[in-house]
Amino acid sequence: MKAIGYFVEGAQADGAERSLNEQTERFLAFCQKHGYQVAATFVDTKDEKEAESGFRQMLHFIERGDHGFVVAVVDGLGVLGSDLGRAAVKMLTIEEAGATVYEAESGEEAAKAIVGEWSGKKRNAPVSERVRAAMRRRAVRGEALGRPPYGYCVGANRRLQIVPDEAVVVQYIFRLYLEEGLGIRRIAGRLNEDNIPTRRGGRWSMVSVRDILRNRAYLGTYSRFGVRIPDSHRALVSPSDFRKVQENMAKRRKGGTGRSLQPFLLSGLVFCGRCGNRMIGVSRRQQWTTRAGEERKATYRYYQCESRTNQNTCSYNTQREAELEGRVRDLLAEPNGAAARLQRAGGADAYAEEIQGEIERIEGKLRQNRRQVESLVGEAASGGLPIERMKALGTTYVREQRELEREAHEARTRLAAERSEAEREEQAEQTIGRLLARWEALSIEERQSLLREVVDRIEVDGEEARLLRRY
């Protein structure tokens, strides 16, 4: 087994700074005591640039996956963050990459140490945590909290009560899935065709239909804060029907339908020219037997209008991945500015303000994400959530955290590079030239980053494609 060490200059432990030498000594002692082979060490200093941080290098090292089983070792929680919330986010980020995190001196898993520290400070917990604890006690009594599921409202006794008009729709959705064999996209389309609005008067999507089909509330079970109360309210679906739906959905997932984990180059940049909605990357896998008896498999990747995919609305606007990306490349390569430049009211100052607003929105989402992780830690500290479950749920937030941090870094880079109009145009031309010259050699992440520097959006309708440049 192998261990990697992560050290931070000036990290606090027991109220005092630990030097890099002290952190290294404790790491080596941990490896010797527990029989680990040293695989690598990574260091963050006080003046190191974000793009070159040891933490990011460590994540890449772990994600390569060619080192066998590795654990990450830190001197103490202070290495992970200045407070428990930040430490929890960083710990979950490392574990999501593929390495369990341990404290060097205690030999304890960092997750357990964080939960233990949080539990020890419960008396001085913030008001939000005390409110959450009170809400958890109400959940144990079966009292409904927050927005009730579609099909129910909160009654006078704080229990869920059926809303007849919505309950009929819930049962209709289950019937379409089980008896008519419709998938969630077609169910969403059927509801929209029948002019059945959502609770907020909007259109149905794949996500809203899927959430209803998966919600155990329709069995009469109330679940909140890790508490599950059977027979808390009237059921809308029988246990056998609910079980069949879950089994069928599991089979479909196992069958390999859905999106690929391989990223799509134009994600976030390409829009439907018919309805204006975003186009999303979709992957489909097919398997068949030839007349000669040979088993064949193929994967098809394409961009499809999100309205079509999620709501079964809009017409069939679908673009093969390779063809659309090739057309975008050709548009960038055409001389004399064939790709239109996006006109911004207010000029350079307005554009700088736009970027700053984008950064502030991302930072707000990052803070919200950290609060969600802190909430999970608080639930684990109160005994309402097992630590392993906390870690599993936390990975969703840290994946989004990393994507948000990447977007924030790109936005800050654009803001720092803001120059005069002529200089920006010259910079854009250089970026396009570099992108086209090294297109095949660049990784998809590098190509995507360069594209986002110069492309605002791509509008596609059948054979027609329009590319709007930022400069």
- Give dist(CA 228, CA 387) in Å, integer: 18
More confident residue, 312 or 20: 20
Q: Give the total residue count for the chain.
A: 471
In angstroms, rounded to a whole number, what is the distance separating the alpha carbons of residues 102 and 91? 9
Q: What share of the chain is helix, strand, coil (3-state, %, to 5)?
A: 50, 20, 30
pLDDT digit string (tens) for 405-436?
Answer: 888 888 887 777 665 556 777 888 888 999 99
* Residues 6+ away with beta carbon under 8 Å from 65: 98
Residues 336-380 pLDDT 10s: 544 554 444 444 566 677 788 888 988 988 888 888 888 888 888
- Per DSSP, helices labelled H in 382-465 are 387-416, 421-437, 444-454
User: DSSP letters of 153-199?
Assistant: EE-TTSSEEE-HHHHHHHHHHHHHHHTS---HHHHHHHHHHTT---T
Contact 267, 324 (CB under 8 A): no
Q: What pLDDT does residue 111 have? A: 92
Give the pLDDT band of residue 314 (cuts 50, 70, 90).
low
* pLDDT score of 224: 61
Beta strands in 23-144 (DSSP E): 37-44, 70-74, 100-103
pLDDT in tens, 46-88: 765 554 588 989 998 988 877 677 899 999 898 998 888 889 9
**pLDDT for res 49:** 54
DSSP 190: H
Beta bridge mates, 303:
281, 319
Domains and CATH numbers, the chain: 2-123 (3.40.50.1390), 138-254 (3.90.1750.20), 270-333 (no CATH), 342-469 (no CATH)
